Each structure stands twice: as C-alpha cells, then as structure tokens.
Structure 1
Amino acid sequence: MNTATPSVQAQPSAQPTQTQARFAFLILLIINILNYTDRSVLASVQTLIQPEFHLTDIDLGLLNSSFLFIYGLATLPIGIWADRGTRKNIVAICVTLWSIATALSGLTRNFLQLFLTRSVLGIGEAGYAPASVSLIGDYFPKEKRGLMLSVWSIGNLIGTALGLIMGGIIAEAFGWRWVFYIVGIPGLLAAFFIWRAVEPRRGAFDRVDGNSSHETTSAHGSIGSDIIKVIRQLLKTPTYWVLVAAFICSFFIIGAALSWIPTFLHRDFGLTAARAGTVSGGVLAGGSLIGTLIGGWLSDYLQRRMPQGRMLVTTIAFLSGAPLTWLALSMHQLPAFITVFSIAIICLSLSLGPIQAIIQDITLPEIRSTAVGLALLLGHLLGDAASPLIVGIISDSTHSLGFALQVTGPTCLLLAGLICLIGIKTVPKDMERMHKHLNQERSAV
C-alpha cells in the first residue's frame, strides 16, 4: 500500500504514472547536478589546499587524475551491474557513497587521505550514470526520451558551474573544508528520495510497439558481455577508431581545463579563489552550452546535405579551437583572456553533439551502446584521467602552469582535428555499409 509519496511502489511498474516519472526525473536531474558539482569543487579550492598540505603540482595532478582514473575503470563492472540489478537502488548506493566521500574530504589532514576520498568518489560516480539513463528511458515513452535526456544532460554544465563558482566563494567565507561538507550532504537526501522512487519495468514503453530501446543506452554507453565480438565488428569500421582517437585527444583538454584553469587564473592573473572559480565556471559552462546548441543545429543541417556533415563540423571545431586556445593562454590581460578563451570553448563545444551522433550513424543498433561505452572508456582512461597529472608534471618541471597548458591543450586539439580529417574520407563508406546491412536484414524479414 502506498502511503508516502506517489512514486513509492513495492514492485516494478510496467508503465509508471506521469507523477511517478516526473518525481523520479527531478531527483535524477538533481543528482546529476550534484555529481558534477562534487567532481569540480576540488579545482576551485586546490590553491588553498596546496600550501596547507605542502603539495606540488604533480600532487594536485594526481588528486584530479585519481578520481578520473577510478571513474573510468569502475564504469565497466558497475555498468554491467546496472543492466542486471535494481537501478534505483544502484543509483541510491552510488550517490550515498560519493556524497560520504565528498564530505570526508573536508576531514582529511594530508595528501594520502584526500587522495583516497577522491578515488572513492570515482567509484560512486561511475555507477549512477548508466543506471540513470536506463531509468529515464523506462520512465518516458520513446517520443519524449530525447528531450528528457537532453534536459538531464544539462545538469553536467549546471553542476560544473556551481562547483567552480560556489567552491571558491564558500572557501573564502568559511574555509575550504566547508566546501566539501556543504556539497556532500545534499547527496544523502537525494539518495533517500531516489531510493523511494518507483522502479519501472525494463522496456516498459518499448514493449507496447515491439521496439527495443537502443537510443537510451547509447546516450551514455554501456559495455556488454559480447565485447570481443563487438570489437571484431568495429575493426571493420575505420571511422569508429578515428572517433576514439578524437575522444582521447578532446577528453585530454577537457580534463586539463576543468582541473587547472581556476589555478591558472589565480597564479597568472592574481584572482582570489572565489573570483577564479566564478570566471572559470562561467566561461566553461556558458561557452559549452552555446557551442553545444549551435553545433547540434549546424551538424544536423549539414548532415542532411552531405554524409560528412557531422564530421565536418567536428573537424572544424577542433582545428579552430587549437589556435584560439593557444592565443588565449598567451594573453596577459584578463579581459582579453576571457574573450578569446570563451570563443575557444564555444568552438570546441561545437563537436560535443556531432561526435556522439556519428558513432550512431556508423554502428549497427545491436552493438551501438557497447560501441559508445567502449569509446567513452578509452577516452576517459587515456584522455582526461591522464591530463591533470601530465600538466602537473610539466608545470613543476618548467615552473609555469600557463606553459604546461599552452603546450598540451592546443597540441591535442590540433591532433584531434587532423585525425578527423581522415574521418571525412571514411565516414561515407562506413555509413553506406551500415545502411546496406540494415536493408539486407529488412529484406530477409
């Protein structure tokens, strides 16, 4: 008997009510915002932690890389668990785990303790996304999923901006330890509410029309048990490996920017922790939002006119972003830096939508989610998981964080753009091969 909230239910519901779905979606959106807030607060306060713990830039790089590396490794086993277990409970467990780890970060007294709490944060955050995306796919009918997943994804930008902006402000007012307390505690409340939400039956809406939901899992990506078989098929698709290489290069600069830009602003422009977080959060989140919207529209427009449309936008994004990033990091006046860096972020963000869509354009539906999951796994492990540490090593060696960012960022973006030039030639054939296979299946039926 349901006597609490309208979303509480003992058994999985074939089709949740609108009230149940909206309640659960709101909690999942809040959790996604908290996720990116928790992971980004370290960058906003590390300039205060560094002198207290006597850390080098290599140490700071390790702290940022520890979360990303564990996050990448844990995605595979926890993603498989999400395919088999009760998803709302998995989300609740993961949110509880990372929230406790975040709060405990405020109690740390040395590098090792903080390193361990940030690593546990990676385990918790690796588990919520596959389960959350799967839940959203079963809370709403097929025609509404695209919109709901898009709204849910905006939480990435909101959370990043909140973490960078609030982290610096809270740290200056109450001390950096309070940042982790204040950010970590709300997750425990969110975990309770998602635990009380309804668990919809898998494929609740898809079974009505007999279709299977490939786009739901492919929105985030998961890796199935037939990974070897899928890799063999993907080896026949050269464009896929072009995109994997581009993922690695682009993730590198994303990880470096989120980890080091607030510190760069503090050192090179003398900004306080609060102002450095506000500037970096506003530029990164605002520029990404604008670029993503423009890139999605432009790539769809060009794709209707040529098979290379999305790849062309992706290539232009990287090749234009490389010199703009180098130019921004060469600026010695804050207004000039903010202006040029904002334009660079907008250009780079043009690729965020198209590069995900291209994978779906060239892979068969039955392997699509695994293909996306594998690309994200390699992108995280070889890209953003390594970049904070590499930048820290170069910074310590040259005694210049600006130089470290200027060398690594534009170089990776230029490589990504040159790699995508290959994809412009290969993508039409790979798309044609995929469509031919689908037509053969329809003919056989």
Structure 2
Amino acid sequence: MAKLTHHHNHRHAPWKKWAVVATCAGLFGAALIADFFWASSSATSAYLSLASNWARQRTGIIVLPTVPSQADEKKVEEAKPKEDRERERFLSATFADIPAPEWKWEEMPAAPVPRLDGAAIQIENLLYVFAGYGTLDWVHSHVDVYNFTNNTWGGRFDMPKEMAHSHLGMATDGRYIYIVSGQYGPQCRGPVAHTFILDTKTKKWSKMPPLPAPRYAPATQLWRGRLHVMGGSKENRHTPGVEHWSLAVKDGKPLEKEWRTEIPIPRGGPHRACVVVDDRLFVIGGQEGDFMAKPGSPIFKCSRRNEVVYGDVYMLDKEMKWKVLPPMPKPNSHIEFSWVIVNNSIIITGGTTEKHPVTKRMILVGEVFQFKLDSMEWSVIGKLPYRIKTTIAGFWDGWLYFTSGQRDRGPDNPQPRKVVGDMWRTKLSL
C-alpha cells in the first residue's frame, strides 16, 4: 500500500509544479496590473493637477475641490477622534471661503443702531445711512450720518412716512439723493412704487413719479442725466424682474412725468451692486428668488424659498447694449451698498454666496473683491474681520470703511446670525 501511494504521488507531481507556477504567474500578473493602474492613476492625477493649475493661471477662475457626499463626510467624521469632531463640526460649511491676505482692521465707533438691508450714499466725507431692519419685526425710518473726517456719528433725521424701510434703490449726483421703491414694513411685506429725492444740504424731501410697478431691491444708478432702475424682484418679493426703466432728472428735480422703458437686463433679481464709472454702467452679482410672506400670515411672516446666487457681471455703454463681463470669483449677493471706487477699481466687501450643498444653509462672504476696470479682471485682495452680508462701505483719505449688516456665527460657522452696527476700517493701497 505504501508503494502504491508512493507511485500515486509521483504520478501527480508535475501537475502540482504547474499549479504552483500558474499561481505565481497569476499573482505576478495581478501585481503588474495593479501597478499599472496605480501608475496610470498617479499620472492622471498629476495631469489633472497641472491642467487645473494651468486653467487658473490662464483664466483666473478659482477651481474649488469636489464636495464629498453626505455619506462620505459621515464616514470621515466617524473615523476622527471625538475632540477633533467637536472642534471641526462646522468646518465643512466653510467650503466656499477663498484664501486671501489677512488685513489689519481697526474698530471705529459703531452706528447708533444695528441694521440689516439698509441703504447708504457717500457724499464727500459724509456717509448717509438709511433705514434697514433692526430685527425681523422692527424696521428703522430714519437716516444716520457718519463723518469720516472726525469719525463720529450724528445729524440723525427722519424719513418720509410713506418711504420704504429696506431694500431700497438709491443713487446720488453729489448733492441730491434719489430713492426708489423698496420694502415697506418688517418681516416679508411686499415692495412699493414710491420714489423720493433728498436734498442733503437742506434735509428737505420731495417726490418723483412712482415706478411703473413696485420693485424689491432694484439695481439703481444715475447715468447720462437719467435715473436708471433695473431688475429687482416683483411684488411677491421672489419672482425676478428684468424690466429696466429710466427717468430724466437734474438738480434734484424730475424732468419727466413718466418713466421710460429701456433695454431689459439679461438676468433679473435683487441684491446687486450697480456702479457707474467712466460713462459705463455696471451691474454686479445678485440672486434669483428670495424669502416670501407665508400665505395667510397677518404679519407677513417670512417663509423660505429657493434662491440661486450668481456672480454675473453686465455692462451698458454708449451703444446701449448689455455686455457680459467676467464673473466674480464666486457667486455673490446682498452687495447693493457694499462697494466703493478706488484707483480705477471697484472694491466689494462681503455678501452671501451659494447655499451649503449638504445643509442648504445660507453662507456669508468674508472676502474683499477687486474688479480692475482697465483689464476687466477680478481678484480677491483681503479678508474682513468676519463674514457679513449687506455691508455699507465707504472710502476716505486712504481708508476703506464698512459698517452694519448681518455677521456670521463665528470663524467656523459662516451662517448668518447677529445684526450689527459695527464700523471697521483698514488702510487700502492699490
């Protein structure tokens, strides 16, 4: 039996050798294939990295990393130590922040009242700050004045009783301030069509013809002797308007009884900056949609609606045709009075950007943007002390100022929280 067993094993020995060889070859081949795919992946990653860098250099577009899915984020978070999870619990919500230089800010005397969605006009060394929410249930109906020469607030005076309290359109010729439309009352009441003129020398108010239709936060500016009003939201506060009207004005008086229809703006919506420089009119950023009043609510309680924030930039020149310019570095809204003009550049402070893709929460902006009017290029030039929307900006004697608005919940949470009246300034040299 032993001999039989010996002959049986001897007869199958070559088969075993080939099996071992085949197994080794298979393992070796698998290793080569894995190595090939690893090398290909590395090469591809390197190529994509180079391509991304090239794209940034060539176009100025900032390429943000892909946002992981909620399931992936959860797995990553669960793998972290507990103390790290607690410390970083809000960090994923800051995905939209763009790296920028840290600036040294100096805190100045705060405004007499906190305000959100207020309006402002700077005339020489004086900043006239109008209306705005104090809280969601309380709106201001007066004007505060800040003196950049001695850095003090004073000279408060009341607005007309019929004038809107927030989301105003506003422009100036250097003495007279022209005010159009806006929201009358707190919460989410609708807009009105009323228009007014303020003589800043005498503090006297007068009226202009009402707008053809009420508008909420329209882009407004004086250009070529006419007051232009564009976009904004319609009566329900949510539906974007693309209508564009103008009215001839001079020395604080309307020269016409009716508004003239102009070329519609390519994209409607509220909360945009509107600037005139060198006989060119610019409309920057904004959004489509906004909060609406809850149906049947006796106090017009605000009800959330879908909003689309964008960074589109449009320009009108002597040809009276809208031209599309390079967009902002990221979508930005709530910047109506957040801009100043410095050394042939438009400077914009703060705002709001796209909602967080997972939490769907509003994300505030903490960057300072520069748009060079000679090259039509955008850049991010600095950081604010915190993220904040509806800032009111001014520039005087080399200092960039901003005040008021709604700030974030802290360095690690860019969601809006407290309405403030703080005033800050920093030296700005371009």
The TM-score normalised by the length of structure 2 is 0.26
Which is higher, the Rg of structure 1 or of structure 2?
A: 2
- Which has the higher relative contact order, 1 or 2, with Cα contacts under 8 A spaced 6 or more apart? 1
The TM-score normalised by the length of structure 1 is 0.25
